[in-house]
Amino acid sequence: MNAGLQEDGADAATDAGTPVWAVFGDLMAGLLGAFVLILVYALALQADLATRLDDEVKKRQAEEQRRTALEQALAVPLAEGRVTLSGGRIGISSSLLFAFNSDELQPDGQRLLKSLGATLAAYLKARDEVLMVSGFTDDRPVRGHSAQFADNWELSAQRALTVTRTLIAEGVPASAVFAAAFGAEQPVASNADAAGRALNRRVEITPMPRGKAKPAGGG
């Protein structure tokens, strides 16, 4: 009888202990599953960051190549001080291109654009890019009975169009260039003095990837 009681007690102990180990096993399996999920997420995040870093490196390399190509193409006018190059934008002073309140090219401006036309056409030939020709003015209003423009927006637009048409005439494909007007917006210097206003009166030629060729301002 005592033996029977002992066997019954052992069976009861075994039955009582089985659920504990089963729960522990389920807990460990759950923790292992969570760890695997975290590991997979961390690896995916690392791969995504690596891809983004690689894309950023390629983007910067492409920008550096574009800047270097422009510097080489514009070496002569840059050395002569007839144009500037900043942030990939080719800057030309309006005083070199146009007389006061005029959209007609002056002889020096005509000669400059003639040389730039061939240079930019050769630059574009090897690249899937377009040129945005942007006109800018200072903040002084167009005034006087002889003024043919309603305001600075119209003046900057007509000057940008004049440069665009001249570049096309000098060999730049019409499908690879467009005009934009910014008026007195986006000044690069203060309009409080003559020197600053002279800097703001300008035309910029900006090469950009064809898919991103969208004007950044009004006009």
CATH number at residue 127: 3.30.1330.60
Looking at the structure, tell me whether residues 93 and 198 fall in a common domain. yes
Looking at the structure, tell me whether residues 86 and 188 fall in a common domain. yes
Both tokens assigned to 6: 């002992």
Q: How far apart are CA 168 and CA 165, in angstroms?
A: 5
Say what the pLDDT of residue 97 is: 95
Sheet containing 129-136, strands listed edge to edge, beginning at the edge strand earlier in sequence: 84-86, 89-93, 202-209, 129-136, 177-181
The answer to the question of residue 53 being in a domain is: no
Looking at the structure, tell me whether residues 10 and 99 fall in a common domain. no
Looking at the structure, tell me whether residues 131 and 197 fall in a common domain. yes
Looking at the structure, tell me whether residues 188 and 94 fall in a common domain. yes
Report angle CA 89, 93, 96 to the nearest 5 degrees: 135
Looking at the structure, tell me whether residues 106 and 194 fall in a common domain. yes
Say what the pLDDT of residue 54 is: 76
Q: How far apart are CA 119 and CA 106, in angstroms?
A: 20
Q: How far apart are CA 167 and CA 175, in angstroms?
A: 12
What residue spans of the chain are helical by DSSP H? Answer: 2-73, 75-79, 94-97, 107-125, 152-169, 194-200
Q: How far apart are CA 145 and CA 212, in angstroms?
A: 40
Say what the pLDDT of residue 55 is: 76
Looking at the structure, tell me whether residues 28 and 119 fall in a common domain. no
Say what the pLDDT of residue 62 is: 67
**Count of domains forming the chain:** 2
Looking at the structure, tell me whether residues 146 and 109 fall in a common domain. yes
Q: The domain containing residue 140 runs over which residues?
A: 66-212
Looking at the structure, tell me whether residues 128 and 38 fall in a common domain. no
Say what the pLDDT of residue 41 is: 86
Say what the pLDDT of residue 147 is: 65
Which residues does 155 contact at the CB level (< 8 Å), separation at least 6?
101, 103, 135, 137, 142, 149, 183
Place of tokens 């169009």: 161
The answer to the question of residue 61 being in a domain is: no
pLDDT string in tens for the chain (219-residue length): 555 545 555 454 445 555 666 667 777 777 888 888 888 888 888 888 887 877 777 777 767 777 788 888 888 889 988 999 998 899 999 999 999 889 999 999 999 999 999 999 999 988 889 999 999 999 998 876 456 899 999 999 999 999 999 999 999 999 999 999 999 999 999 999 999 999 999 999 999 988 765 544 433
The answer to the question of residue 218 being in a domain is: no
Say what the pLDDT of residue 51 is: 79
Looking at the structure, tell me whether residues 107 and 32 fall in a common domain. no
